[in-house]
Amino acid sequence: MTHPISYPADPSQNPQGRPPRARRRVWPWMVVGVPVLLFGACSIAVVSSVGGEKEATVISGPTGEEVVADRGPEFPGKLDHDTAAVAGATISRDDLAYTVGPLQAVDSLLGSYLCSEVTIVNVGTAENDFNGYTDWHVQDAGGAIRDSTFGTDRPMLQSGRLAPGGTATGNVCFDARSGAAPGTYIVLYEDTFSLSTDRLAWVSAL
Q: Is the pTM of this model over 0.75?
A: no
- Quote the distance between the C-alpha of residue 189 and its chain's center: 10
The predicted pLDDT at position 69 comes to 57
What's the pLDDT tens digit per position in 23-82?
Answer: 555 444 444 444 444 444 444 333 334 444 578 898 887 776 666 556 789 999 999 999
Element (H, E) at 90: strand 90-93
More reliable by pLDDT, 23 or 146 = 146
* Nearest-angstrom CA–CA distance, 113 and 124: 33
The pLDDT value recorded for residue 203 is: 96
pLDDT at 173: 95
- Chain segment 114-135, per-residue pLDDT in tens: 999 999 999 999 999 999 989 9
d(Cα 99, Cα 118) in Å, to the nearest integer?
6
- The C-alpha atoms of residue 58 and residue 183 are separated, in whole angstroms, by 23
